[in-house]
Chain A
Amino acid sequence: MAGKKFRAAAEKVESQRRYALHDAVVLAKEVAFAKFDETLEVTMVLGVDPRKADQMVRGTVVLPNGLGKNKRVLVIASADKAQEARDAGADEVGAEDVVERIKGGWLDFDAVIATPDMMRLVGALGKVLGPRGLMPNPKTGTVTLDVAKAVEETKAGKVEYRVDKTGVIHCGVGKVSFETDKLVENAQVLIDAVLKAKPSAAKGKYVKGAVVGTTMGPGIKIEVVA
């Protein structure tokens, strides 16, 4: 059963109406009631069958106004590449040593970037990193030779989006404490990226619906023009 505060918030939202993005963000900020700084999330229901490899929607986008949290970035690289990563501001850099630490249970980071030559070590960490969504992958730019760029982008607010098994994308685009315009800008960048990533094999309507909402707050439907 939803709580009192949630019901009060939900009453302010017209459940059938599709809001313009800006209005939706304003409303979401207005009805947010939690005692902490909630995250504003965008949820998109896509007309794709994610079980088919050619209908996968997945990628990364750098949000212009960041996410409002400092991501701890681990880079697994050796020699020159390790130095590049350090210079770019990586929080942890290492090779065999960090792989061993992770095997021992160390997980104090929010993103992992690796160079291709290190993947033979990182592959063995699948059991640990995979379920947490931290496994480096070339498509998301986390297996790359250009580690400096990857670190900078991650620090700047790069987020990964991907459809889940039911064809839905969830992605945070900032904190409720952000200025409205910044949130709108972030959300719009994400939506544009998802629209651009439409797979050619997808049939029918691509975006079936989209919602914004805060961590604890009600969902607010938005109009998405493809």
Chain B
Amino acid sequence: MLFRFDNVTKSYGSHEVLREVSFQINPGEHVGLVGRNGAGKTTSFKLLLGIEDPDDGRVEQMRGLRIGLLEQQVHAEGSGTVRESALEVFSSLHAMEVDMRRLEHEMASANGDELDAILSTYSDLQHSFEDAGGFTMHARAESVLLGLGFSRDDLNLEASNLSGGQRARLALAKLLLEGPDILLLDEPTNHLDIQAVEWLEDFLADYPSAYIIISHDRYLLDRTVDRILAVENGRISTYPGNYTAYLVEKQQRRLLAEKRFREQQELIDRTQEFIRRNLAGQKTKQAKSRRNMLERMERVDRPEADGRAANFGLALAARTGREVLSVEALSIGYPGVELASSIEFVVYRGDRVGIVGGNGTGKTTLFKTLLGSVDPLGGEMEWGHNVKPVYYDQHLADLDPRNDVIEEMRLSIGGADDPTLRGYLARFLFTGDDVFKRVSALSGGERSRLSIAKLISGSGNVLLLDEPTNHLDIPSREALESALESFTGTILTISHDRYFLDRICDRLVNLEDGTAEVFEGRYSDWLDERLIRKAEGRVRETPAVTAKPPQVPAPSGATKRRSIPAIEAEIADAEGEISDIDATMAKPSVASDHVKLEPLIEARLHAVERLERLMAEWEAASAD
């Protein structure tokens, strides 16, 4: 047992978040914690970490349990480089190192017994240092960082200048270096780009120790957990299997609960009718006994209707000129660091533009430049007539943690009375006392909802959204998507959410390799196009292959062609090889070790090349 919740109850004011909750987590278990925003998921983590105490019940832990937490909001790391920041986890080793350096200086000037004493202390200290991995900490930190996708140059970047995704990776690297018994991941994918999410999925699927993930990413949960803990109405129920299995099981349980409730209601109705008719008659004794039975009966709760999703009704936006934004030869970045240059695109009224690209390619900087909070390094940009851009920040910096929800809303809609504000907030699922919660006490998802509520209530007609679906639960995401679909203004959005992009955007600006490329079409079309281009690019990049006589018999009448089944067998073999390599690369022990990774990457490239050659051969053979 790693830890156990034993009848835990926790309230904030009159709001009961957890009621008599009991569950247990064992070593090696991979658990997903799901539930609506504000349902008590993060509270469960806080109870486990000892940041909060339960009002009733107990949280028991294995002795010496080491917990690693990856928080929802990864704060900017203080000063120092990525490498220095990662090494911070070894603070006890650093203290030992300082003592060792001091003793080394002291022994230079000591003699006799004093020297012996120093040498003896030094010897023990060096030994403990070595045992605790002091000599290898630099190498370990580096290998974990490289495994998580940082390049060697990145290690010397200032940690405070990292993009959201890079910061999350750094935080994850620090966690892994601590080697905890259990990992707590609170929305780990929020600031990761798609490649990084896929990497994380593979990594977690193979992670030997226990972890609990809070996530609204259905795909992540499906691939990484074997048990779901669902927080609903203050209760936590356990479901075996992944997220899909949970949905099926939950539906079945709900149907069963409804049936039980209905049957009990019928029984109650029948019994009450019997009591009413017979209480004063001959069967009064029976009626009284049935009345007692009714009083003693344990009532089945009515199952809650299936959720309430946020209603993000967007107001009609004031009409802008036809050309909303034009960008010409724009260079963005910070003094000394150019992130992207030669950016050119025009946005017209009603466009829905998705900004995509890896972490740190300058997506957020592009928004900041467009909004004027960062100066362009070169080029021109111009907003069109009557344009009022509004910005939704992925780090939620526009909320004042000291305000409560309704005050924060009042700042946005000046002059509105309380009932109007409350009515408006209710559409964003802030009902009853929720509106008096302090911003600092809101969960990540609730903050996002509030931010979006503020944004929409404003008078902006061009929305610049920076990762709007982060922190939103699944129903809220879907509601946001449909609200944005009915929005009459123009939308520019940065997102890593594959489904969101596909549903909302009809144009894409891809920031990559220091420049921007515009794609007219949906996200999935763009992915297809990229795959095709990549395949073509590889053919061009390797002229040696075409110059030399091909190793595989080419479709040149003179050479004898192989049979299709023979080629197919080889294709299956090549595909098998690739998937084997992928499986090996996904293992944590390999993924975090660049030395092991490099030959695998090489081997995979060769295998992919071989597969492509075979495919070409197969096509030629089957065309005959």
Contact = CB atoms under 8 A, between A and B. Distances in A.
A141 to B, nearest CB: 10
A175 to B, nearest CB: 28
Interface in B118-155: 118-120, 122-124, 126-128, 130-131, 134-136, 138-139
Nearest to B137: A127
Contacts of A120: 101, 104-105, 108
B442 interface: no
A130 B93 CA distance: 14
A126 B127 contact: no
B535 interface: no
Contacts of B100: 123
Interface in B95-125: 97, 100-101, 103-105, 107-110, 115, 118-120, 122-124
Contacts of A116: 107-108, 110, 115, 118-119
Contacts of B127: 53, 56, 58, 137, 139
Nearest to B116: A138
Contact of A51 (B105, B118, B131, B139): B131
Contacts of A127: 135, 138-139
Contacts of A130: 130, 134-136
A117 B123 contact: no
Nearest to B119: A138
Nearest to B122: A138
Contact of A119 (B97, B108, B120): B108
Interface in A114-133: 116-120, 122-123, 126-127, 129-131
Q: Indicate the member of B115, B118, B123, B135 with the most A CB atoms within 10 Å.
A: B135
A53 B128 contact: yes
A147 interface: no
A56 B103 CA distance: 21
Chain B interface residue bracket vs A: 20 to 34
A143 interface: yes
Nearest to B127: A56
Contact of A123 (B104, B123, B136): B104
B131 A135 contact: no
A120 B197 CA distance: 45
Contacts of B139: 127, 131
Contacts of A51: 131
Contacts of A123: 100-101, 104
Nearest to B107: A116
Given A53-B128, A120-B104, A123-B104, A137 B123 contact: yes
A127 B97 CA distance: 11
A119 B139 CA distance: 22
B136 A131 contact: yes
A147 to B, nearest CB: 14
B134 A50 contact: no
A193 to B, nearest CB: 17
B107 A131 contact: no
A165 interface: yes
B123 A139 contact: yes
A146 to B, nearest CB: 12
A interface, size bucket: 20 to 34
A137 B123 CA distance: 6
A119 B104 contact: yes
Contact of A135 (B118, B119, B126): B126
B366 to A, nearest CB: 40
Contacts of A139: 123, 127
In this complex, which of A53, A119, A123, A165 has the most chain B Cβ atoms within 10 angstroms of its Cβ? A119
A56 B127 CA distance: 9
A58 B123 CA distance: 11
A138 B101 contact: no
Nearest to B103: A119
Given A135-B130, A138-B123, A119 B107 contact: yes
A165 B127 CA distance: 12
Contacts of A58: 127
A127 B100 CA distance: 14
Contacts of A135: 126, 130, 135
A126 B123 CA distance: 14
A82 to B, nearest CB: 15
A116 B134 CA distance: 21
A53 B124 contact: yes
Nearest to B138: A127
Contacts of B115: 116
A50 B131 contact: yes
Contacts of B124: 53
A117 B108 CA distance: 4
Residue from A117, A120, A138 having most chain B Cβ neighbours under 10 A: A138
Contacts of B128: 53
Interface in A48-63: 50-51, 53, 56, 58
Interface string A70-106: 0000000000000000000000000000000000000
Nearest to A165: B131
B107 A137 contact: no
Contacts of B122: 119, 138, 143
Contact of B120 (A50, A129, A131, A138): A138
B125 to A, nearest CB: 10
Contacts of A122: 104
A129 B128 CA distance: 16
Contacts of B104: 119-120, 122-123
Contacts of A117: 107-109
Most buried by B among A50, A53, A117, A130: A130
Contacts of B97: 126
A179 B97 CA distance: 45
A118 B131 CA distance: 23
A182 B108 CA distance: 41
Nearest to A126: B135
B116 to A, nearest CB: 9
A53 B121 CA distance: 12
Contacts of B123: 137-139, 143
A182 to B, nearest CB: 32
A138 B134 CA distance: 18
A58 B124 CA distance: 11
A131 B136 CA distance: 6
10 contacts: A116-B107, A116-B108, A116-B119, A117-B107, A117-B108, A119-B122, A120-B108, A127-B135, A130-B134, A135-B126
Which 9 residue pairs across A and B have the least CB separation, nearest first?
Answer: A130-B135, A138-B119, A116-B107, A117-B108, A119-B104, A139-B123, A138-B123, A120-B104, A123-B104
Interface of A: 50-51, 53, 56, 58, 116-120, 122-123, 126-127, 129-131, 135, 137-139, 143, 165
Given A127-B139, A135-B135, A137-B126, 17 more contacts: A50-B131, A53-B127, A56-B127, A116-B115, A116-B119, A122-B104, A123-B100, A123-B104, A126-B134, A130-B134, A130-B135, A131-B135, A135-B126, A138-B119, A139-B123, A143-B119, A143-B122
